[in-house]
Amino acid sequence: MSVQVSKPAPTFTATAVMPDNSFKDDFKLEDYRGKHVVLFFYPLDFTFVCPTEILEFNRKLAEFEKRGVQVIGCSTDSHFSHLAWKNQDIKIGGIGNVQYPLVSDFSKTISRDYGVLLEEDGVALRGSFLIDKEGVLQHAVVNNLPLGRNIDEMIRMVDALQFTEKHGEVCPAGWTEGEDAMKADQDGLKEYFGKHGEEY
């Protein structure tokens, strides 16, 4: 399957390590239908850039939760590896008790379906996917292995999506909560640039 923005996000059932450190063998993306979901892939447990991203998602988890968003992490490691990494102290390279599910894609099926699997290495690129309440993929960005992602940018994209869903307007470049959006027609464009044209 080839993932595509505006199309249904690939569904999956896998084993995940849950926030309470239990294993959930039948973890399903579909169980979160009705919520916005941020699904992110990272290359490997016990590596270097990955813990900074995982911990930043965890540090800002309340920002996602107050927007009704479920954060889910995923790599091609086993669930046993995920748990061992959670049980390792942050000061020595662990991730501690992060409070969102970490999915095991040991079969590499999920990474392949989302188009982020490096087949020759058996690991996933740093893919980030925003899925709406109906299970439709609305935003996707993929970074190469050395390039850590910006968690604040994903929060901004959540805000933009939810604004558009609520108000039916579109969000211009760099839009943040509280700024002007525009109606998706020529009159809306003229109105927006009438107010903000000198900024460009």
Nearest to 13 by CA among 77, 79, 104, 99: 104
Q: How far apart are CA 52 and CA 96, in angstroms?
A: 12
Cβ-Cβ contacts under 8 Å for 1 (sequence gap 6 or more): 10, 113
Catalytic annotation present for 50? yes
Helix boundaries (H) for 98-180: 109-113, 151-167
Nearest to 45 by CA among 94, 111, 12, 90: 94
Tell me which DSSP letter residue 11 carries: P
Structure tokens at 183: 């109606």
The active-site residue out of 3, 16, 38, 50 is 50
Q: Report the run of H or E that residue 193 belongs to, with start and end.
A: helix 186-196
Q: How far apart are CA 27 and CA 47, in angstroms?
A: 25
Catalytic residue IDs = 50
